Structure formats: structure tokens, C-alpha cells
Amino acid sequence: MPPASRSGSAFPPSKGRSAPLGGWTTERDAHRSARPARRRDDPRYVALRLLAIRPRSIRELMRRLSEKGFPPERVQGVIHALQEQRILDDAQFSHILIEQTLARKPVGRKLLAWKLRQASVAPEGIEEALGRVFPRVRELALARAAAAQKLAELLRRRRIAPRSDLKARIGRFLLSRGFSPELVPEVLEEIVFGRASHGPRGVEQ
């Protein structure tokens, strides 16, 4: 005859009921305790959890899975499957990252390329994304807008400013925002000198 449990019953707890401390473990309890371990051992589950936190590039996701100890063949298999299902797509990821960055403030091609490199997008993917999403005409328009905004800000601070001083300050500002160096002289000529020729207040001729 089995010994009585602490509750006084000579039988184990019924299936589905929590076992008392030091008592019997039910089949459901064993299944629940094993489930998290199985999920941690599943690279697809881990990959989807990482993507649920935020979008990631292919190379970044591969690196994260490798860091968690998954063998290369399993990592490659998961990456390939996610690409086939269009869950993982560097072109779409790059597009999202570029638009999110530009929504915060106008920046140039060099800064966008740096952000994509930081996100582990492959070099060929960076060039393709910038060529498709950020052509020269768009960068030029953003550089003009950024320069005009900076000019207005500088003129608010100083009642009279030499054009040479404005040119230097705005030029440094545009380069710090990652605009292509070959665009900067064109923008400065139009924004600083072009508008100065029409006599904006605060610009010393």
C-alpha cells in the first residue's frame, strides 16, 4: 500500500491538479517545464523573438543566432526559410531604416550609409538601397531644406552676418549631417549667395 501523502491521501494528485510540495509531478507539469527549454533550443523560435523586438538585417540575425550557440547549418536553414517567407528581407529593412531616419531630420547619403553599415547590411545591399530610395535629387532637396533652416537659425542669432561666415558655418553643418561633399557647394551658392543677392535681412553684402 503506498504511503499517505501530506494531505492524508494514499494516492497521487489527480491529473491536471498542482502537486503538493514534495509530492508527485503530473504529466502536464513535466510538459510545461520542458517547453521553455525546447523553445530556447529552436533557432526559428529565437529568430522570430528577435525580429519581434525590432527589424534586423540578415547578417545581424545570423550573428545573433550564432552567438546563442546554434550550429552554422541550423542558422543557415532558418535564415533561408525566413527569406523564402519574406519575413527577412534586407531591401525592405533598409527602406524602413532610411525612412525612419529621414523622418527625424534631413540627413545625407553618407550618414544613411553609415547607419546601414551599423545595422550589418551587406555593402552591395547598401548601394542598392540608397540608389533606389535616396537618389541624388532627393538628397539635394533635403540639403537645400536643411541649409535654409540653418540659415534662418543663424540669422535669428545675429543681426548682421558676413556671407563668408554663413557659408563656412552652413557648409560644416551640412557635412556633419552626412550630405555628399559634392552637393554642398551647389547648395551654399543657392541658399547663401543666391538668397543674399536678393537682400535677405541680416546678410552682409
Q: What is the pLDDT of residues 67-122, one digit of tens each?
A: 999 999 999 999 999 999 999 999 999 999 999 999 999 999 999 999 999 999 99
Residue 38's pLDDT is 61
3-state secondary structure of 205: coil
DSSP state of 105: S
Radius of gyration of the chain (CA): 30
Q: What is d(CA 76, CA 66) in angstroms, rounded to the nearest whole number? A: 10
Buried b (16+ CB within 10 A) or exposed e, 48-66: eebeeeebbbbebbbebbe
The pLDDT assigned to 2 comes to 54
| Strand positions, DSSP E, the chain | 161-162, 203-204
Predicted structure pTM score: 0.72
Phi-psi category of 105—alpha, beta or left, where left has phi over 0 and alpha has psi -120 to 50?
A: beta
Angle at 160 between CA 155 and CA 163, to 5 degrees: 80
Separation CA 12–CA 15 (nearest Å): 9
For 8, which DSSP code? S
Q: At what angle do helices 27-40 and 43-53 cross, to 10 degrees?
A: 70
Q: What amino acid is encoded at 196 in this protein?
A: A
Under a CB-based contact definition with an 8 Å cutoff, are residues 66 and 72 in contact? Answer: yes
Name the stretches of the chain with pLDDT < 50: 5, 7, 9-11, 14-26, 29-31, 33-34, 196-203, 205
Place of cell 547619403: 109
